[in-house]
Amino acid sequence: MQNKDLYIAIDANAIVHRAYHAYPSSLATNDGRQVNAVYGFTVMLLELLRKYNPKYLIATFDTAKPTFRHTKFPDYKATRKPIDNELLEQFPYVREVLDAFNIPSLSVEGYEADDILGTLAEFVENG
């Protein structure tokens, strides 16, 4: 039964990163394309849907462009290693998974996924 009052917003970037590091890189398509992050994300998404059955679910993503924090604080995430190409290549497929489930996704230039989550939570809480 659908939980008609439940709103869930997820930081898809965080879940994809977690899945990428949690599942072996040997998870690949027949042509050798690595899909461990896509698989792990899908497993976690299915569990969330099974456990909570929310009425509303939205996934938020970071963008490749700098955020307002990078402008205000030049050292923001300056020591962070670049994202592996094998991980980056999986993001379009994660979006396809969301599309297949009719789950909207949102990214806003200049903001991180968790900034969007905060805004959505404030909107749901206060209208």
Give the tokens for residue 23.
């599942």
Q: Report which residue type is found at 48.
A: L
Render pLDDT for 62-121 as a digit per residue (tens, 0 to 9): 988 877 776 777 776 767 788 899 999 999 999 999 999 999 999 999 888 999 999 999
Fold designation for 3-126: Rossmann fold (3.40.50)
Render pLDDT for 30-67 as a digit per residue (tens, 0 to 9): 999 999 999 999 999 999 999 999 989 999 999 888 77
Report the b/e string of 61-81 with b at 16+ CB within 10 A.
bbeeeebeeeeeeeeeeeeee
Angle of the 12-22 helix axis to the 113-126 helix axis, nearest 10: 130
Tell me which of 28 and 110 has the higher pLDDT. Answer: 28
- Give pLDDT, residue 76: 65
- Determine contact, residues 36/56, Cβ cutoff 8 Å: no
